[in-house]
Amino acid sequence: MLDRPWTEAPLCALDLEGTGAQDKGNEVILEVAVIPIVDGSPDMQAAYESLVNPGRPVPRRPWISPGLTDEALREAPSPAQVGPELEARVNGRYMVGHNVIVDWKLVHLRHPHVQPAGLIDTLRLTRHLQIPAPRGLGALLDRFELREQVDKSAPSGRPHRALWDTVAAAVLLARLLEDDPNVHTLAELLATASVPGVPASEDPTLF
């Protein structure tokens, strides 16, 4: 499988919104999206997005995305309902995201049965390509003029919400690989953009 073109590999992009790392072990997921990447593009027909009712009040903090309020989340699926959906869409696939380790830590904390084949980080890829800072997702979309493409793919989304940011990570991956003539296969992609040693649920140094 590692020798196949990266566009034929089992990839999915994932992004979530949570209450923030400041909550440490009490952090909860408020919204999540997963999209398969097929032939190098996000497959919007198979996209999954959901609000998540954390079962407790959501604190009002500036880093929590607009719209993720107690009222909005009250009728949302519970973590127990969302978990099987994530497992079905992520398990056995390589999970793509921008600074993906942040999302992975929270997914693994709340849904330990979600088991991707590995993690592919578009932020690591920008460092490999020596793209100058700033390397935040929004800045990179602007640098490569990708915002319009993301908006068209996720017309109901907006920046800093799970669906929009998931599409953005998938689109960014393909655009970055246009600038890397040495990445054609999944093995070559993993060599440049994977997070070493992850997933490794037994490794306590990750948390």
- Please state the domain extents for the chain: 6-196
**What does the pLDDT average to over 105-131?**
97
Superfamily of domain 6-196 in the CATH hierarchy: Ribonuclease H-like superfamily/Ribonuclease H (3.30.420.10)
Q: How confident is the model at residue 35 (pLDDT cuts 50, 70, 90)?
A: very high
Q: How confident is the model at residue 199 (pLDDT cuts 50, 70, 90)?
A: confident
**What does the pLDDT average to over 11-16?**
98
Q: How confident is the model at residue 159 (pLDDT cuts 50, 70, 90)?
A: very high
Q: Which amino acid does the sequence have at 171?
A: V
At residue 22, the pLDDT reads 82
Say whether pLDDT at 36 is over 90. Answer: yes
Q: How confident is the model at residue 60 (pLDDT cuts 50, 70, 90)?
A: confident
Q: How confident is the model at residue 207 (pLDDT cuts 50, 70, 90)?
A: very low
The most distant pair of C-alpha atoms in the chain lies apart, rounded to whole Å, by 49
The pairing of strands 11-18 and 94-97 is parallel
User: Rounded to two decimals, what is the model's pTM?
Assistant: 0.93
